[in-house]
Amino acid sequence: MNGATVSCDTTTFKNNSKLYWQYNCDRIWLTLENSSGQKFVIDEVEVELYNLTYRLGYHLIKEFKESLLFRSGCPANGPCTYTLIDKANGKKLKEFDQLICIDTDIKWEHAHKYNFDFIVYLSNKSDNIIIYYVDSKRTLKVPFKENLTGIIPQHQFDEMTLENNILKLSYELDKDTKKTLKIELKNKKIQPLTAATPK
């Protein structure tokens, strides 16, 4: 079980809270222990599914100032769920459907580091891109008129970069058409979509 589930190492955060997985013959659980020594079980996986813990259980994506972002509930070929947890008391703060350009490889050992202080996702009707600044709880909504036809439309976004307060989101409409949306975050301005270009 130790070799087939997630890392059993303890992660210590900036506020001295700790995060660690534990298991016995009956269950697998993830504990958040705050700096006062209080322990909160924030996730649990059925022991029969131990080999899928890396996909179904909470996988840490990023530490923010007051919260932790986890990915979980990833089916074999479907979208994941993302959850913000208060790192002082283990309470769930906010939950999101599949995010854009964030740890889309569900195998935890291949996960990449997420370097942004915000998260990006599509609105329910996919007609807006929403940028949520986790620490300040500020939201920026950007109109998005493209018709994304993929089973998981968020996976059509393949690159996100930030330079000089310009956020660039690159995405594919089909195998021959790639576009980029540029958003000036400082002044909340949206630049026109770049012309369609062949791959």
- At 63, which CATH number? 2.40.10.480
Q: Is residue 38 part of a domain?
A: yes
- Between strands 59-63 and 67-72, the pairing is antiparallel
Sign of CA dihedral 116, 122, 123, 124: negative
Q: Is residue 24 part of a domain?
A: yes
Q: Is residue 116 part of a domain?
A: no
Q: Is residue 118 part of a domain?
A: no
pLDDT tens digits for 23-69? 888 889 999 999 999 999 999 998 888 888 888 899 899 999 999 99
Mean pLDDT of 126-149: 91
Q: Is residue 86 part of a domain?
A: yes
Q: Which domain range does residue 28 map to?
A: 1-107
* pLDDT for 147: 86
Radius of gyration from C-alpha coordinates of the chain: 18
Number of domains in the chain: 1
| Rounded-to-integer distance, Cα 105 and Cα 102, Å | 9
> Residue 193 pLDDT more than 50?
no
Q: Is residue 72 part of a domain?
A: yes
Q: Is residue 3 part of a domain?
A: yes
